[in-house]
């Protein structure tokens, strides 16, 4: 049995959680470390999936009777990164820790009272050094030229000097290999996805440039739990093939599973999407997707055609690119048919856009698969967590 398999089995027992908080130097090495016993009630992490931008936030409430966690340039200061890890002790007594995010300090607060002396630190996603919150405003105009390699452009932004000899991000990014060699056709001419298709001039922040890159790639750009910037395709994996991270069984009420709330949203559902692109040589690029599979509860044959508001992408000149976006939007709209809020015991291996099953013992053991949209996790050893998830997308037809 691997260590991860041991971890999964230990989650089903009365395990002892571990919280580790590392304060980092600019190069990513550990300046000093605190353990979970310093953390007070109210310490938590929150994850909310975004296609582009910040996904992770958190709060550290530190016991500060010793005054060692006061804001100070040599201890806790603006621009300092904080890495949070969580895990548990395996049966052999060894620690098993999983990364939960790398953050920057924001809005530190101090509280003084006869029975209370705490410092509270808001944690914000590393994206804050791209969107202008803590850094990232472009000094002038950033230009992406036709033919520029988009991965190279993204790496160039990360290695931008902040003015003190330190790069925006020294951690190597992870870019999806699916884009290598991927092409689309316009008027029988093939173009590489990784080649900038038009000149883009951006004023504002480096996050605005990253967003433009995501638009060109029909992709997603964000920071993962280990603090690495990722670029991935939006429609690269069918929902049913995504990793299954946990089975919640109604027999486990009061153990892993505490409560499930399910809300259905017929008003948010669309089963027909049209994407209108730009005009090239007198022709408008177009993409369309709809649900016709009669097995789907959202098929046109069952509920009629519900067309989403027209999605206009004036910079998409290829039908294939418009089609890819239409398929993605249809997937998102169909997922909104049903949302689940799952209250459960703490677990530390969750990932956005992965699956969990809820097994309904009261409905003949029906397995109800949901995609994780986010979660809220306490950093203290007690208390439950909450997972936000959506129903799997229905079958789609172009």
Find tokens 């949901």 and name the residue: 370
Cα–Cα distance, 260 to 368 (Å, whole number)? 12
352-370 per-position pLDDT tens digit: 999 999 987 777 778 889 9
Provide the pLDDT for residue 125. Answer: 97
Q: Specify the CATH number for 142-233; select among 3.55.50, 3.20.20, 3.40.50, 3.30.2020.
A: 3.55.50
Provide the pLDDT for residue 255. Answer: 72
Cα–Cα distance, 261 to 259 (Å, whole number)? 7
Cα–Cα distance, 303 to 357 (Å, whole number)? 26
**Number of alpha carbons in the 13 Å side-chain half-sphere of residue 262:** 9
Residue 276 and residue 286 in contact, taking contact as beta carbons nearer than 8 Å: yes
Cα–Cα distance, 270 to 55 (Å, whole number)? 26
**DSSP assignment letter at 164:** S
Q: Which of 122, 117, 133 is nearest to 84 (CA)?
A: 122
Q: Which of 151, 162, 165 is nearest to 229 (CA)?
A: 151
Provide the pLDDT for residue 393. Answer: 58
**Helix/strand/coil percentages in the chain, nearest 5:** 20, 45, 40
Provide the pLDDT for residue 66. Answer: 75
Provide the pLDDT for residue 252. Answer: 67
pTM greater than 0.85 (yes/no): yes
Cα–Cα distance, 293 to 300 (Å, whole number)? 8
Provide the pLDDT for residue 79. Answer: 81
Q: Which of 341, 343, 371 is nearest to 245 (CA)?
A: 371
177-199 per-position pLDDT tens digit: 999 999 999 888 999 999 999 99
Find tokens 């603006």 and name the residue: 78
Beta bridge partners of 23: 32, 82
Q: Which of 289, 325, 293 is nearest to 394 (CA)?
A: 293
What token pair was written down for 127? 């994206």
Answer yes or no: same fold for 3-125 and 142-233: no
Provide the pLDDT for residue 397. Answer: 45
Provide the pLDDT for residue 292. Answer: 84
Please state, for a pLDDT cut of 90, what percent of the chain lies above it.
67
Q: Sketch the domain layout of the chain as residue ranges.
A: 3-125, 142-233, 239-391
**3-class DSSP state for residue 177?**
helix
What token pair was written down for 143? 């230009």
Cα–Cα distance, 266 to 224 (Å, whole number)? 32
Q: Which of 192, 214, 179 is nearest to 146 (CA)?
A: 192
Dihedral angle, C-alpha 200, 203, 207, 213, nearest 10 °: 0
- CATH fold of the domain at 3-125: Thrombin, subunit H (2.40.10)
Alpha-carbon distances of 319 from 264, 312, 313, rounded to whole Å = 33, 13, 11
What token pair was written down for 268? 């948010």
Provide the pLDDT for residue 267. Answer: 86
Provide the pLDDT for residue 156. Answer: 97
Alpha helices for the chain (secondary structure H): 3-10, 150-158, 206-217, 300-303, 319-335
| Residues of the chain where predicted confidence (pLDDT) is lower than 50 | 395-398
């Amino acid at each position: 049995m691997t260590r991860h398999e041991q971890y999964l089995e230990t989650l089903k027992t009365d395990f002892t959680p571990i919280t580790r908080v590392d304060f980092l130097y600019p190069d990513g090495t550990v300046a000093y470390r605190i353990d979970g016993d310093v953390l007070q009630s109210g310490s938590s992490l929150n994850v909310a999936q975004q296609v582009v931008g910040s996904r992770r936030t958190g709060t550290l409430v530190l016991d500060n009777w010793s005054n060692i966690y006061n804001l100070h340039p040599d201890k806790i200061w603006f621009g300092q990164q904080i890495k949070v890890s969580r895990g548990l002790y395996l049966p052999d007594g060894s620690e098993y820790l999983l990364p939960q995010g790398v953050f920057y300090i924001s809005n530190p607060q101090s509280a003084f009272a006869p029975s209370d002396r705490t410092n509270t630190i808001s944690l914000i996603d590393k994206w804050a050094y791209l969107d202008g919150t803590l850094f990232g405003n472009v000094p002038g105009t950033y230009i992406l030229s036709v033919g520029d390699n988009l991965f190279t452009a993204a790496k160039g932004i990360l290695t931008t000097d902040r003015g003190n000899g330190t790069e925006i991000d020294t951690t190597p990014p992870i870019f999806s290999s699916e884009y290598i060699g991927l092409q689309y056709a316009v008027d029988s001419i093939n173009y590489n996805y990784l080649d900038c298709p038009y000149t883009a001039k951006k004023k504002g922040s480096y996050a605005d440039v990253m967003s433009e890159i995501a638009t060109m790639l029909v992709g997603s750009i964000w920071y993962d739990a280990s603090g690495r910037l990722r670029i991935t395709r939006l429609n690269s994996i069918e929902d049913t093939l995504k990793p299954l991270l946990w089975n919640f069984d109604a027999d486990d009420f009061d153990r892993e599973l505490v409560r499930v709330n399910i809300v259905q949203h017929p008003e948010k559902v669309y089963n027909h999407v049209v994407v209108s692109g730009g005009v090239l040589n007198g022709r408008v690029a177009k993409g369309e997707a709809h649900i016709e599979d009669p097995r789907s509860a959202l098929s046109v044959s069952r509920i009629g055609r519900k067309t989403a508001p027209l999605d206009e992408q004036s910079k998409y000149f290829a039908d294939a690119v418009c089609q890819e976006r239409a398929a993605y939007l249809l997937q998102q709209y169909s997922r909104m048919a049903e949302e689940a809020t799952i209250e459960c015991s703490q677990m530390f291996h969750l990932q956005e856009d992965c699956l969990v099953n809820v097994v309904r013992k009261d409905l003949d053991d029906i397995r109800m698969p949901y995609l994780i949209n986010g979660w809220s996790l306490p950093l203290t050893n007690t208390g439950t967590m909450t997972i936000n998830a959506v129903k799997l997308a229905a079958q789609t037809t172009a």
